[in-house]
Amino acid sequence: MSGTNPRIAVYPGSFDPITLGHLDVMERASRLFDKLIVGIGVNIEKVPWFNAEERQELVRDATAHLDNIEIRTFYGLAVEFVKECGARVMIRGVRPITDIAAELTMMMANRRLAPDVETLFMIADGELAHVSSSLIKQIAPLASDEALARFLPRPVVAAVRARLQRLRE
């Protein structure tokens, strides 16, 4: 694969919204690579809470302390986005029980589509390994801000509250 840089990694996801588990993976991956590109995926089959620009802004706010992160939006296959970025490593955050089978299947398909792209699985810190954006959407209407802050970066808590308010109107 010409034009690739092994010191660049791409972490694709929907990040709707970004959680502390996502942030943990981003922080750790940013220490392993010279540059980490966070790809905000747009899936036309899903109805997101936040549009792509809002998700970019939330990720930007949450990762402001990391100087080697770039945030981009992409459409289509994540593995194709990785290649477009000139990277050879795709980071996948996984939850130990729920994600492994699906992620292994996707990794094998990606290997067929782009043999030069390696998938690196990273599990979030133990106390965050169960957190997902879907969980946040389930508990947010009922949880206090303090409870949500156990799962979300602080700026995201306020954005989730504002989104819930708009959904109620």
Give catalytic residue positions: 22, 46, 95, 133
Residue 157 backbone phi and psi in degrees, to 5? -55, -50
Nearest to 61 by CA among 168, 154, 140, 161: 154
Rounded Cα distance between 114 and 117, Å, is 6
* C-alpha R_g of the chain: 16
Q: Is 20 helix (H, G, I), strand (E, B) or coil?
A: helix
